[in-house]
């Protein structure tokens, strides 16, 4: 009896072949490089671990460009 198929809900012909989530009905949106970089900068500017590096970079820019207006180096 171990070689007999069980009667009940039929087995799907796709079982095991399509695991995960499909893409039907989803819309892929591509962003231009400017938007992607803007997003990265926004995220980096809002992570506490990165802030000391940003401050150090601003100090470096100010020391390299002492005559530059302070408004050009954004705080």
7 to 2, 45, 48: CA distances (angstroms): 13, 61, 60
CA atoms within 13 A on the CB side of 35: 4
pLDDT at 23: 65
Confidence (pLDDT) at 66: 80
Q: Render each residue's pLDDT in the chain as its tens digit; 75 residues.
A: 667 666 777 777 766 665 666 667 777 788 899 999 999 988 888 888 988 998 898 889 888 888 777 666 665
pLDDT at 2: 66
> What does the pLDDT read at residue 29?
80
Domain positions in the chain: 48-75
User: Kind and range of the H or E element at 53?
Assistant: helix 51-64
Phi, psi of 12, deg, nearest 5: -70, 140
């Amino acid at each position: 009896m171990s070689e007999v198929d069980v009667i009940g809900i039929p087995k799907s012909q796709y079982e095991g072949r399509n695991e995960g989530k499909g893409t039907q009905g989803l819309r892929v949106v591509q962003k231009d490089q400017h938007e992607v970089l803007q997003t990265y900068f926004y995220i980096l500017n809002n992570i506490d671990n990165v802030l000391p590096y940003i401050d150090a970079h601003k100090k470096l820019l100010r020391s390299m460009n002492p005559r530059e207006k302070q408004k050009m180096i954004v705080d």
